[in-house]
Amino acid sequence: MKEFLFVFRNDYRAMHKSSPEEMQAETKRWMDWIGGIAAQNKLVDRGNRLADDGNTVKPGNVITDGPYMEIKESIGGYTLVRAESLEDATEMAKGCPIFQNGGSVEVRAINPL
């Protein structure tokens, strides 16, 4: 088994404001998805969500506010999983609820130092 990082990206600024019911349903979909990975004993670390605000530091002490840079999508969170292969990990990512809101999951193999 190897470890893989799921990076969750979405255009969080463009997302419409959800009603409490929608938010609750959204949370449930995420919990069920993560729970399903954990039930296969393939969850390494559920990771975290990233807050909206942030800075990007560039050469010459240039600081731009926000993590967004030029692209619209930003990283909303990450999770570490265990899988036999990149194919397996990718298969696992297919169930992610983020696709319902137009987001994406980047699947990257971890190369241990």
Residues that bind other proteins (CB under 8 A): 28, 31-32, 34-36, 38-41, 43, 46
Check: CB of residue 56 under 8 Å from CB of residue 66.
Answer: yes
* Tokens, residue 39: 């039930």
Supply the minimum distance, in Å, between the C-beta of residue 28 and other proteins: 7
Supply the minimum distance, in Å, between the C-beta of residue 43 and other proteins: 6
- Stated length of the chain: 113
Nearer to other proteins, 41 or 100 (CB): 41
Supply the minimum distance, in Å, between the C-beta of residue 97 and other proteins: 13
- Helices of type H across the chain: 20-39, 86-93
